[in-house]
Structure 1
C-alpha cells in the first residue's frame, strides 16, 4: 500500500453526516472545533466564511473544505450586525439529513442561500501530520460547472442522489463519497505544491515514499536509519539528510511519533492490553513504551485510557 493510502487508513475517516442550511436575510451560523473534516457546498446564493481572522467570499457553485474542522463563522455579509450566530455543531447529530431554516429580521436583507454542510469524523491525533501539512482551508470554485474536475462533478452528483433518497447502504456510500472527496482534494493540492519541504510531497517522493510506506505500514518492525535507507535504495547519510530536509525531523524521531500516535489510537479503542499495544507499535519492553508514551502525552498509557473512557461516560 502506498504511503498516502496508509495515511487515510490511519485517520479512520468515517461516520459522514450532512445537513442542508436554508438561510434568509442577515443570517449567521458558527461551528466549533470538533476534530472533524467540514465541507460546505454553496448550492444557491452567496455568503462569507470567517476563519481565523480571514474572510472568504463564497458563491453558488463553490466548495470550501476545512480539514481540521477549525472553529469558524459563516454570515450573509461582511456587515456583522446580527446578534446571535446559530451553533450548528450539534445539529449534525440531532437533525442529520434534514434542512435547517436560518432566518433573521435584521437588515440588510439578502438573497436566499442554500448550503450543503458535510461533516466527516476522523481520528484527529492520527491526522495531525496531515493537518499540519494542509492549508487551513481548500476553496474550489465553480464545482457545479462543466469546467470543474470530472471527479468532483461525479462525486457531487452521487452525493446529491444519495442525500435525497433513503436506500439500503446509503450511509456507507456517503462515507465513501466523503472520503473520495477529501482524498481527491488532497491529491489536487499535492499536485499544485511548490514547497519541496512539505510532508505531503514526501509521500509521493520517488525515494522517500518507500520509507514512509513501511513506517506507516509496518511500525512494529525494528527499523533503523540504515534499514529505512535500504527501502529507498539510498546511502544512510543521503537518506537521513533528505528525510530531515523534507520532513523537518529525523527518520527515527518521525518513526517514534508515529508509533506513539498509533498507540494512542489503540488505547482509545480498548481492544488490546498495554503490553500488546507496546509490541504492536515496535517496543519490546512495556516499561520502555510506557516511559516514552508519558514523555509525549504527560500520562501513562493506563492513565490515558482511563481518561478517555471517563470522557466517553460523561458524553
Structure 2
C-alpha cells in the first residue's frame, strides 16, 4: 500500500500560484503564507533565505527550497542587503508569463521562481508538523536533481506561449514538485528515528496507516490493525505510540475529525450524514468527539466557517435541509 500517496491525497492539493522574477542587486522579497507550503527555485545566480531565529541560508543556481508551513521569510541578494523587502504574495496572483517583477537583467541578477501551494491545511497538519521548517534540495553544482531539472525544463516550455489549459497544467506541475520534495525527504528519514515520518518506512506501521486513511469509516480495533500489521497487539500498540506520538485509535479519531471538518466546511451534507461517513453510528457520539477535538460542536464550527468565508469573500456550502 502506498501510504504516502493516501496521505497526500487527503491533503487535497489544489494547484499552485507562481511568480517569476529577475532581480538585480540590491533586492529583497518577503513572503508569508501561514500553513500553506511555499517554495523558491534559483534558476540563475544566488540568493539568501532569511528567517527569524535561523542562520541565513545560501541558495545557488539549481537549488530548490521549500517551506512546508509557509513560515514568514525574506529571500534577497545578501544577508545584510540594503533593499527594503517587498511583499511577494500580492504579485503571485499574476500570470507567470507576465510576472517579471525585478527589473533589469545584469550579470549579478538572480533569476527566481517563487510559488505557494494550495491544499487543506487542516488535513495536512500532521505531515507538515513532522517536516522540518525548511527543505533544501541542492542543485549539485549548478545542475538541479534530475526530477527538478525535468520539471524546470517543462515549466520553461509551458510558459513560453499562451496555450489552452495552461493554468491547469501549471497547477499539476507545481503539485508534483511539492510532492517530490516531500517524498525525497521521507526517503531520507532513518527507520527507527522516532520521527512521525519514519512510520512510512516501517512496513507494519505503514500498513496500519494506509488502512486508516483508506477506510477511516471502518470500526477499526487495535487487535484488527495489529493483525494486518503482522504484530502482536501490545507490540503494535507500543510501536505505533512511540513513533507517531499517540495511540492508534487516538490517531484514527483525530483523522476522522479532520475529515469531518473538511466536509463541514466544503459540503452541504447534514451533520448526521457526515457522522456516518467518518464512522459514527450516533450523531451524538460524533458531536461529542468533534467538540473534544475542535472545542465547538459540528454545527457551531460550520456556522463559524460560513461566517469567516463570507467575511473573506469565499464560498462555504451551507448545510442542506433534509426531509424528515
Fold match (TM-score > 0.5): yes
The partner residue of 2:291 within 291, 294, 300 is: 294
Higher strand share: 1
Aligned position for 1:280: 277
Residue pairs, 1:1-315, within 5 angstroms: 1-54=1-54, 55-82=56-83, 84-94=84-94, 96-102=96-102, 111-142=108-139, 145=142, 148-194=144-190, 196-315=193-312
SS in 2 for 1:14: coil
Mark the CA change 1:75 to 1:149 in structure 2 (over 3 Å): closer, same or farther. closer
Supply the distance in 1 between the matched residues of 2:61 and 2:254 (Cα, whole angstroms): 42
Mark the CA change 1:277 to 1:12 in structure 2 (over 3 Å): closer, same or farther. same
TM-score normalized by the length of structure 1: 0.91
State the Cα distance separating 1:41 from its structure 2 match: 0.8
State the Cα distance separating 1:210 from its structure 2 match: 1.0
SS in 2 for 1:39: strand
**RMSD between superposed Cα atoms in Å:** 2.1
SS in 2 for 1:102: coil
SS in 1 for 2:113: strand
State the Cα distance separating 1:144 from its structure 2 match: 8.2
Q: Is the Cα contact below 8 Å between 1:50 and 1:74 reproduced in 2?
A: yes
Displaced runs of 4 or more, over 4 A: 94-97, 143-146
Gaps spanning 5+ residues in structure 1: where? Answer: none
State the Cα distance separating 1:42 from its structure 2 match: 0.9
- Report how many aligned residue pairs link the two structures: 309
Supply the distance in 1 between the matched residues of 2:303 and 2:140 (Cα, whole angstroms): 45
SS in 1 for 2:253: helix
Q: Is the Cα contact below 8 Å between 1:25 and 1:110 reproduced in 2?
A: no
